[in-house]
Amino acid sequence: MLTEEMILEALRVVIDPDLGQDIVSLGFVKDISISGGDVSLRLELTTPACPVREKFRAQCKDIIGQLPGVTSVNVSLSAAARKPASQNLKTLDGVKCVVAVSACKGGVGKSTVAAYLARAMQREGLAVGLLDADIYGPSAPTLFKVQHAPIRIEGNFIIPADLDGLAVMSLGFVLGDSPAVLRGPIVSNYLTQLIHQTQWGALDYLIIDMPPGTGDVQLTLVQQLSLDGAIIVTTPQALSLVDVARGIVMFEKVNVPVLGVVENMSSFQCDSCHKVHYPFGRSRQAIESRFGLPTLAELPILPNLSDASSREAGSSVEAFALLAEQVHRAVGKSRVKPAARPEVTPVPDSVIIRWPDGYEKSFSNYALRCACPCARCVDEMTHERTLDPSDVPPDVWVEDMQFLGNYAVAFHWSDGHTTGIYSWDYLRELAEQQP
């Protein structure tokens, strides 16, 4: 006789490629129903845009269909609910996933990435919204080629503009060309109004184009919204990468997982020889090693990338479609309970790290400080160490430390150095190199 236990056991061979576990252990299989030879169940996936959702459905139908006595199989799909916002935001009730696109330094193309990411997701058939939260320099009017968008007021709520199927809201639609000369408290009030009074309706994704920086305005946004994660946009330059570290620490302090890094303006293709050049050097590996975060996309320098007004904007650039897929995967990973992370124990003259597999290493404070991988201590182009060990006090110690998700730890050293982020992979490499 066919039982629920038989079905669950059979489905243990279906493995999530990103999480490396079977769908039964991950708790994806829900609501199994058996009526004679008819079987139905629901797969509750981590994100509504899971890239392998149809593959999962097909695998489940095929596996269950081969069990004795099964005559028909129905597999429905759903997604895990988003965690509730801290301030009971009814305007986000219909939004399944909220992702912030951030840059801690201006001029790296954050708003462009946010707009073209939203369009790429829209082309996948998803319902997408974009909130331009940059009060001082709103970019949506320029990117979408509309100064006074058709936003509406219904009751106490703002209905965002529908720009070729994309829901978009920006203070720039209200201000037009007028400069936003605003003081801090007024900025927070405007942001609060945009967040609490914009009625987004049913969306698969809401993309937040964050203001640049890591100050009060950014914290206001992060604290009021229930973010599924943040993407940090940077360029492969030392100054930008120093700011990446600040952004990672800011988000992790308020329990927002950083999904990964987008390296913008990383390369260009020569018109004459068609060779791809990297004017700032290749830094993808350096970023992943330094921060312990994946590089979600390397976006090239492209001409005329300033018009996101149509649904097809960016469709000829494969990197945007790949970025959308990587974001789906990263959100899915962030919604699953992470594996155990290493234990870090600072003692008076050293730091002891014990990995989940039992491997343990004691680093002297001085050696660990001298091995800092940040952009201030390592040259971005040559990857040569620029920190002079003689500049580090021999008795340096750890004043404070902060775990960053499940991928790294940040140390605040007694010599005032605070930008060092040590990924677990980097620390393990250091440990195995040392006697």
Q: Domains (ranges, CATH) in the chain?
A: 4-79 (3.30.300.130), 90-334 (3.40.50.300), 343-433 (3.30.2020.30)
Hey, how many other C-beta atoms are within 10 angstroms of the C-beta on 89?
Answer: 18
The pLDDT, as a whole number, for residue 8 is 94
Give the residue with greater pLDDT, 279 vs 204.
Answer: 204
14-35 mean pLDDT: 91
Give the residue with greater pLDDT, 397 vs 272.
Answer: 397
Give the residue with greater pLDDT, 187 vs 274.
Answer: 274
pLDDT category at 4 given cuts 50, 70, 90 is: very high
- Per-residue pLDDT tens for 31-44? 999 998 899 999 99
Tokens of 317: 């650039």
- Neighbouring-strand partners of residue 422: 409
CA distance 43 to 284: 35
Give the residue with greater pLDDT, 324 vs 226.
Answer: 324
CB 71 within 8 A of CB 37: yes
**Any idea which of 6-10, 278-282, 306-310, 412-416 has the lowest mean pLDDT?**
278-282
Tokens of 288: 């992943």
Query: DSSP 3-state assignment of 90?
Result: helix
Residue 271's Cα: distance from chain center in Å? Answer: 33
Burial of 365 from C-beta contacts in 10 A (0-12 / 13-18 / 19+): buried
- Per-residue pLDDT tens for 145-159? 987 777 888 888 888
194-205 mean pLDDT: 87
Query: DSSP 3-state assignment of 275?
Result: coil
Residue 179 has pLDDT above 60, yes or no: no
405-427 mean pLDDT: 88
- Per-residue pLDDT tens for 104-138? 777 788 999 999 999 999 999 999 999 998 877 78
369-388 mean pLDDT: 84
The pLDDT, as a whole number, for residue 184 is 47
Closest by Cα among 79, 165, 169, 168 to 123:
165
Tokens of 61: 């139908």
Give the residue with greater pLDDT, 23 vs 105.
Answer: 23
- Neighbouring-strand partners of residue 79: 45
State the pTM of this model.
0.80
CA distance 318 to 308: 15
